[in-house]
Chains A and B, each alone.
Chain A
């Protein structure tokens, strides 16, 4: 949150953001991947890898938008509700004979509008983002429940189900979409001052205002992007499951936040890499995949995901400090 007041539970900012360098993180992932490939049968097969990537791409698309929001120092808890709601809206539009591609685009428009509400609340009223987006989460998830009730089931067109489950040259369409979104955003961030302004807004809001960063459009834009991309993820999920349920998006709020955190986005704002968030999503999907292959109970998988997120945030907030203290005690031991 750009307002320091709303960070009141955080005693001090910037103690240890990005405690573990990104290259070390990638190294850890590679080592883990090798270890898992050798020990878990079937994990290293092409089919499994592509299924894993398709799974990751849905979370990744949502996480990409969320990365923009978190970089401004905010958060978007409405992601899960928007995914559910837009999936249902897509299906209803398809039932009204709208082509499925157009339906997903209209869904993204709706997600963008919800994002604009979030953005306006944060940018103009300066309210804590976690409360504003919690409110819109309630509205989106509640509307999803409402419109799903008593709706006749719509049979989705084969081409849409193919989009959700098919591959081209072994590569799932969903992965291609996620990569396309990543490339578009990366290019947009690099060729315009957008990236700098996002980071300036999240790093120190008052300074950003003083140096003339248009903080309001930047904030609103980030939330609009997050809402629209969550809707796209909702469309992708609906295509993959070939159905839309009122609560199918719910777990994605936490998964998307987790992907960002594992990817090293600083929850206090000012820091984040889009591609790293995608790697975070792949890491999480891999974890789920391995647990599935090993036959771990779904409840225990939820437990593991919850603990993982808390530990990942803990490492990002206190990690560097602990590493430093550890090194200090080593040095003292050496002197003696």
Chain B
């Protein structure tokens, strides 16, 4: 047991195990995750039948692309100290808008642009009402989840919009450029953009600062509002791009493309990737590897013939484990 002082803070005299966990996880977390993924792949290739078969790792990469994009996006909101529970429905609305427009004869690239923009607008509303309306982000985005789901249902009349064969979207899902699947290229591109935004722009610096200490950031002249709104817009834009990838993969637009389990998956990927749920800490590389770890687990669940219905429970457990590790690691000071 750890002892506590009168302010409820864990004291330094906590036991050695906690200290060891903290030390082990505090250094270069992203590289540690890469090592973890490598170990998972090695263990799986010996223990899981067909895991090491030709094409399976390529499959995992391709299947991870949407999750990489969405998790990288939600990282911005987590960095700001919030949470985005609307992603599952952003998938649905993006998918319905995209398919509806394509079926209506709109040029595919324009349709993609419009669908991603619609997603971005949802993020803008999330951000504005969270910061300026002072609505806690989990309520705002949970409300938005139901609103977007309803709008997607109304737009699609509750039906699945099947895309005609032979569109550019089909190429997007199945095509390769220089031997690499297009979706993987999109994911890598999104991750690079996110890395640049976070590490090479004023916005990125301000976002980290706001996440670590909003009050100090405000006092030092950082425009906290626009930074938070920007984080929510990025989260939804990236989710919109992920929904385009998913729509292309299933070749149809459906309001139920995402759902609550998508929320779990995306947030778990970001959190397993070392993004702090207390705000201000997180790396793009970590989140990308986190997404790969999640999809590897999913792949193993399928190959081992374990009930896929357990997937959501596994995601929930991973969030709690990451949360506990994080709490021990940083020993959050209690206000």
Contact = CB atoms under 8 A, between A and B. Distances in A.
Q: Is chain B found bound to chain A in the same assembly?
A: yes
Interface of A: 2-12, 15, 75, 77, 121, 125-128, 130-132, 134-143, 145-146, 149, 205-206, 209-210, 215, 250, 253-254, 257, 261, 267, 297, 299-300, 302-303, 305-307, 309-310, 313-314, 317-318
A204 to B, nearest CB: 9
Nearest to B265: A138
Contacts of B154: 297, 299-300, 303
B327 A127 contact: yes
Where chain A touches its partner, the secondary structure class is helix
Interface in B145-182: 145-147, 149-151, 153-154, 158
B316 interface: yes
B314 interface: yes
Contacts of A132: 320, 323
B6 interface: yes
Contacts of A250: 260
17 contacts: A5-B279, A6-B278, A9-B131, A11-B218, A11-B224, A75-B136, A77-B142, A127-B323, A138-B317, A139-B317, A145-B313, A206-B7, A209-B6, A261-B139, A302-B147, A302-B149, A306-B146
B307 A149 contact: yes
Q: State which size class the interface on B falls in.
A: 35 or more
Closest 3 CB pairs of A and B: A138-B316, A142-B313, A142-B312
B82 interface: yes
Nearest to B231: A9
B139 A299 contact: no
B310 to A, nearest CB: 5
B7 to A, nearest CB: 6
A6 B268 CA distance: 18
A297 B157 CA distance: 11
Interface in B278-335: 278-279, 307, 309-317, 319-320, 323-324, 326-328, 332, 334-335
Contacts of B211: 8
Given A9-B137, A11-B214, A136-B320, A302 B150 contact: yes
Nearest to B82: A9
Contacts of B83: 130-131, 134
B90 to A, nearest CB: 14
A135 B323 contact: yes
Nearest to A210: B6
B91 interface: no
Interface string B213-232: 11000100000100010000
A6 B153 CA distance: 34
Most buried by B among A8, A146, A205, A257: A8
Contacts of B139: 257, 261, 267, 309-310, 313
Contacts of A15: 134
Nearest to B134: A317
A253 B146 CA distance: 12
B271 to A, nearest CB: 8
B126 to A, nearest CB: 10
A75 B138 contact: yes
Given A8-B211, A127-B277, A142-B310, A307 B143 contact: yes
A215 B228 contact: no
A170 B45 CA distance: 65
A121 B323 contact: yes
A83 B133 CA distance: 31
B135 interface: yes
A146 B307 contact: yes
B332 A3 contact: yes
A297 B153 CA distance: 11
Given A6-B81, A9-B214, 10 more contacts: A6-B278, A10-B136, A126-B334, A127-B277, A130-B83, A134-B319, A142-B313, A146-B307, A253-B142, A313-B140
B54 to A, nearest CB: 32
Nearest to B214: A8
B335 A4 contact: yes
Contacts of B335: 2-5, 205-206
A32 B80 CA distance: 40
